[in-house]
Amino acid sequence: MKKNIWMRAAVVVGATSLMIGALAGCQSGSDAASGGSKSDIKAALDKGGELTWWTWSDSTQEQADAFMKENPKVTIKVVKLDNPDAAVTKLQNAVKAGSGAPDIVPVEYQTMPQLTMAGALADMTSFGFDGYKDQFTASTWNAVNVNGKLVGIPMDSGPMVFIYNKDLYAAAGITEAPKTWDDFVKDSAAIHAKDPNAYIANGGDAGFFTSMIWASGGHPFTVDGEKVTIDLQDEGSKKFADMWGGLLQRGELSPLSTWSDEWNKALNQDKLASLMMGSWMIGGMDDHGAGKWQVAPMPTWDGTPGSAENGGSGLSVTAQSKNKALAAGVLQWMTEGKGRDLINKGGFPSTVKTFDDPAWADATFKAYGDEKANLVGAASAKSVMSGWQYLPYQGYANNVFGDSVGKQIGAKGDLNAGLVEWQKTLVDYGNQQGFQVNK
């Protein structure tokens, strides 16, 4: 399977190295509005200069080269890091040291609140970036707006879709994708009864759980400055945990870890019937059998459209940048120039006008035969549930997921008990780091 790490579903972020108490101490000024303007961008581009751009994506150098070709007075040094975790850790270290940050850095959406509160990211509102709101899907635009600050531009997106093996479904006597979770539960039983070595899905990880709770209408995390409320037993969280836990306890979920070699083998051997992931995965199934897969909307509780984001990143200017206006010029080009075309070439788009582009909308993929699968992703983007918030220490939350919910998954145990334990850990940690959690 070809998994582009730029669009990955965020599973774990190495976030534990930055103490959150330090976050609160940094936020009053270092992440304030940069004080620039749209005219400053033009002046900076005319003058030129040097910028440093950290990345984990293989496509960034191509984007930087194209920008420099159009702006020959600008030199961009691209620094390749191993993965998003490395970028977070390195940027956190620069915040603590007071220097060493790049001018430009990609940030996964789930990490935006954490780095904003750390004072790591510049507010780009004064440069006129708030005028781009209507160009982006609502969920990705919301992700780059944190605590009243516009701290980046959306890059790719990950509205969830249901990718299923139609041949495996047909073998179990199922002729269409499930429209509701009740349908999904019935399909699970039929698939596993037909072949005890086949499963409708695997247990999942932290990124999957948060997205599924989101898609179920849950709002387990509420953040207002340093005041945080965590309720992993709210209605949406419990609805998902009850349904998913029933499948788990009946032995109907595969124990395989997502992205493992065994997981890939199960997809190839018709032992894993469906994937619930961001739409970036639409283009990642061609290695798993031509024509036997289909893309459908996510099941919902009542059959009406409803979805969530699962992965994706924005692009930010750091608070330490000495040339924010020039860096803003790169973000502007990545929003409305050739840069946006280069972004969309490599991932599922966050720009709404792309959904109406016939070349994009009519694209077909080997895995799905003649299905215009992108259209399903576009519809999902329009049905993402509003109001979702991540924790300002979401990276830590994802890192410790395995100690509570993950253990219950492995033991085919009580997912609600796992969520309660996860919540206690997150409440205790947040309070230790200076937040007011559940107070």
Report if residue 165 sits inside a domain: yes
**Domain assignment present for 329:** yes
> Does any domain span residue 24?
yes
Same domain, residue pair 320 and 398: no
For 201-256, how does the pLDDT look when each residue is reduced to its tens digit (9 = 90+)? 999 999 999 999 999 999 999 999 999 999 999 999 999 999 999 999 999 999 99
- Do 274 and 377 fall into the same domain? yes
State the total domains in the chain.
2
Q: Quick check: is 191 in a domain?
A: yes
Q: In this structure, is residue 248 part of a structural domain? A: yes
Which CATH number does the domain housing residue 205 bear? 3.40.190.10
Nearest alpha carbon to residue 299 among 122, 195, 177:
177
Convert the pLDDT of each residue in 295-309 to its tens digit. Answer: 999 999 999 999 999
286, 430: one domain: yes
Residue 35's pLDDT band (boundaries 50, 70, 90)? low
**Whether residues 67 and 109 fall in one domain:** yes
The answer to whether residue 125 is domain-embedded is yes
Same domain, 227 and 305: yes
Q: What is the pLDDT of residues 148-191, one digit of tens each?
A: 999 999 999 999 999 999 999 999 999 999 999 999 999 999 99
Residues 319 and 196 in one domain: no
Instruction: List C-alpha distances in Å: 7 to 23, 33, 57, 283, 349.
Output: 27, 28, 9, 11, 10
In a domain, 362, yes or no: no
Which has the closest alpha carbon to 206: 398, 413, 420? 398
In this model, does residue 32 exceed pLDDT 50?
Answer: no
pLDDT in tens, 82-126: 999 999 999 999 999 999 999 999 999 999 999 999 999 999 999
pLDDT for residue 36: 81
Residues 6+ away with beta carbon under 8 Å from 372? 361, 362, 363, 364
Instruction: Identify the domain containing residue 188 by its residue range.
Output: 160-310+367-437
Q: How far is CA 141 from the centre of its chain?
A: 13
Residues 239, 321 within the same domain? no
Same domain, yes or no: 125 and 261: no
β-strand partners of 165: 293
* Cα–Cα distance measured from residue 391 to residue 224, given in angstroms and rounded to the nearest whole number: 10
Same structural domain, 331 and 429: no
Judged against a pLDDT cut of 80, whether residue 9 lies above it is answered with no
- Residues 320, 260, single domain; the answer is no
327 and 301, same domain (yes or no): no
pTM score, whole prediction: 0.92
The dihedral sign for the CA sequence 275, 277, 279, 283: negative
Cβ-Cβ contacts under 8 Å for 399 (sequence gap 6 or more): 12, 13, 14, 15, 16
Check whether residue 191 and residue 321 sit in a common domain. Answer: no
pLDDT for 368-411, tens place per residue? Answer: 998 999 999 999 999 999 999 999 999 999 999 999 999 999 99
